[in-house]
Amino acid sequence: MKKKKIPKFKNEAEERLFWQQNDSSDYIDWSEAEEAVFSKLKPSTRTISIRLPESMLEDLKLLANKRDVPYQSLLKIFLSERIDSELHH
């Protein structure tokens, strides 16, 4: 079966939206795909500003200290776990 041509995208956001709305198997022959490992690939990040109650921030720092991790990293872990839980349950 002939595959559709992948369109040109103006930016990453446009491409992301396209792939959210389309089945990649209509465009790519996955039977010829090879497994790849990108061990040094880091997700792109964006700095944000968030206001938290001081008591919450102190509690977060306390928990992070007990785990010997930076509090920002622990916050990302907590957010990631909750987002995953909300999306997959």
* pLDDT given for residue 27 in this prediction: 94
Q: In the chain, where are the structural domains located?
A: 12-32+47-87
Q: How far apart are the first and last CA of the chain?
A: 36
Amino acid at 54: E
* pLDDT given for residue 77 in this prediction: 95
* pLDDT given for residue 79 in this prediction: 96
Q: What pTM did the predictor assign?
A: 0.53
DSSP tag of 77? H
Tokens representing residue 56 in the block: 């919450």
User: In angstroms, what is the C-alpha Rg of the chain?
Assistant: 20
* pLDDT given for residue 66 in this prediction: 97
Q: Is the dihedral of CA 45, 39, 21, 84 positive or negative?
A: negative
Show pLDDT as tens, one digit a residue, over the chain (89 residues).
Answer: 789 999 999 999 999 999 999 999 999 999 989 988 887 888 888 899 999 999 999 999 999 999 999 999 999 999 999 999 999 87
